[in-house]
Amino acid sequence: MQAAQSLLQQLDFSLIQSICDLGVGRGYSLDLIKSKSANIIALDKSLSMIRYTKKKYSKTQFMVADVLDLPLKDSSLDLIICIGLAEYIHELGLLLRQIRAVLIHQKFLLFSYSPKSILNSLRVLRGHKLYPRNNLAIQTHLKECHFKILDEKMTSMQHQYLVQKE
């Protein structure tokens, strides 16, 4: 999470009023949010995961929903966090179009994907249904969906981007 934290440190959180964490899971990425006043929505497809995470983050609004059919108002969010989700989504273009629709013009997306690697191959062998991608494919998807890459970081299992909606 250190790479994601360094990407988010580039943002002025006093200008961010609405945040959504897509695929919140256990809520680890919620710890990265450095805003005391923003409206925070945590969204996950799994009701049991929402129930688990809700215990720790009581001030966050939780929603059970599919990230490929976001139940959020268009142009309503300043920041979307999408860490550890894209590798589970086959239709990456659809996910990015959904994100684009709900993100306010010139606002931000913190996005990660899992590249093809030995570590991710081991995850597949352990039963995870993953869609590892290469950097060129991700950059192409981001550009096709009119996101400008501001910065990127790599970890042993993820490649992370801070992007802005054009």
pLDDT (0 to 100) of residue 119? 67
Q: Domain segments of the chain: what residues?
A: 2-165
pLDDT (0 to 100) of residue 128? 72
Quick: pLDDT tens for 22-70.
999 999 999 999 888 899 999 999 999 999 999 999 889 999 999 999 9
Distances (CA, A) of 22 to 32, 70, 74, 92, 125: 14, 9, 15, 14, 25
Task: Note the CATH number of domain 2-165.
Answer: 3.40.50.150
Residue 120 has pLDDT above 70, yes or no: no
In this prediction, residue 122 has a pLDDT band, given cuts at 50, 70 and 90, of low
pLDDT (0 to 100) of residue 123? 66
Contact 49, 69 (CB under 8 A): no
Distances (CA, A) of 84 to 36, 73, 88: 24, 23, 8
Quick: pLDDT tens for 65-114.
999 999 999 999 999 999 999 988 999 999 999 999 999 999 999 999 98
Residue 124 has pLDDT above 70, yes or no: no
pLDDT (0 to 100) of residue 121? 63
Distances (CA, A) of 162 to 6, 37, 52, 66, 154: 10, 22, 28, 23, 12
pLDDT (0 to 100) of residue 153? 96
- Look up the pTM and report it: 0.93
